[in-house]
Amino acid sequence: MNKFEVVLILSPDLASNAINSELDKFKSLISKNDGKVINEEDWGLRDLSYNISKFKKAFYNFFQIEISGLNLDKIKKDLNQSDIFLRHLFIKVKEHQELPTKLINEKK
């Protein structure tokens, strides 16, 4: 199992219960593909560096997961097909950083 840190950027048009629902789907997708979520952080609504699909803000979420690389491709494919996830970034790491991250304490 490889260790990854994941940042998901979600549409700002979603209500909080819809965001929670989509994040639960993401976590279940990880579990179905023999992975596990180690930690997660909600970074909240933040400004984007550039507009994505005419949005200037979006909801950011950070995850630390363990999953095999082959199964990761299936998850990326599902995320690419969703309009709710504007962007996603998976970074392979040797060790997960300690939480809370610096971004959670930064002013939004």
Please enumerate in sequence order all residues whose Cβ is within 8 A of that of 32, keeping only pairs 6 or more positions apart, or say none. none
What is the domain count for the chain?
Answer: 1
Percentage of the chain beyond pLDDT 90 is 54
When pLDDT is cut at 50, 70 and 90, the band that residue 70 belongs to is confident
Neighbours of 25 (CB within 10 A): 13
Q: Which residues constitute the domain of residue 18?
A: 2-105
Q: pLDDT tens-digit profile of 18-45?
A: 899 999 999 999 999 999 999 999 998 9
Q: pLDDT tens-digit profile of 52-69?
A: 888 999 999 999 999 988
> What is the reported pTM?
0.88
Which amino acid type is present at position 97? Answer: Q
Q: What is the CATH number of the domain that holds 37?
A: 3.30.70.60
Query: Exposure pattern of 35-74 as b/e (b: 16+ CB <10 Å)?
Result: bebeebbebeeeeeeeeeeeeeebbbbbbbbebeeebbee
* H helix runs in 1-108, sequence order: 16-32, 69-80, 102-105
- In this structure, are residues 6 and 90 in contact, taking their beta carbons and an 8 Å threshold? yes
